[in-house]
Structure 1
Amino acid sequence: MLHAIDNKGKEDNMKFKIIIIFIILLIAVNASAELTIKEYLKDKNNRDVAIFISGLAVGMGWVNTELRMTKRQPLFCIPEKLVLNVKNYQEILDRLIQEMRETRTSRDDEYTVGLILLEGLKETFPCKDNTQ
């Protein structure tokens, strides 16, 4: 009977270790999911970076749509007849990154491209008050 209890303790210990390893792997994957300014500048002509930026822009567009549908202020207001492409989004990113470089610290390289793109869209396409 003591042997069965001892094996149960070993099984619980092994399950605990597996769970800890799984959590660590999830954290590592999540941490690398964001593209930093440093990575963007290094690989900005890479197709994968363009796809990533396009995905960010589409997601931000859906958030804006949800805000409008629920009668809340959108984050930015792109003119209705204007269609943006990845090159436009990269130009917005490049402009804001250049502005940041004028007052840059080494930590600025660690800002995420998503945050910079959102700020760039808000600055480039501000909404008038009560825009629905």
Structure 2
Amino acid sequence: MTPVDDLNNPDRAATARVRSWSTAVLVNLTLGVPGVVPVWLLWYLAVNWPLAALGWATREATENDGVLPWLMIGLPVLTLFGLLWWLANRRVRRSMAPPSRLYWPVSGLLTAVPTFVLMIVL
């Protein structure tokens, strides 16, 4: 069989779709484990500055360092994770060619699954 015949065979095409989606699921769930750290950093930033200023949250009593630690630690961590996530998903998406409007939201939600699990468990 040639590769063209494989695409015309419905069973092989369905198997290829399942395999490619399972790769996307595995990549995004794996990226979601270290992705807990950037999500926590964003939550900590939101609680201590804008939400505390609005009165919707109480500021951490020992948080008096200002913005410099966020520029030195938080920004590189968020940038590095975002770049790693985008590059990994770009490669997986190109290998499977799903519609963009479906792939990117699903990837984002799958990456957030470990964070949601930790929220529920802890």
TM over 0.5: no
Q: Going by fraction, where is helix more abundant, 1 or 2?
A: 2
Whose relative contact order is higher, 1 or 2, with alpha carbons under 8 Å and at least 6 apart?
A: 2
Q: Report the TM-score range of the alignment, normalised by the length of the smaller protein.
A: 0.3 to 0.5
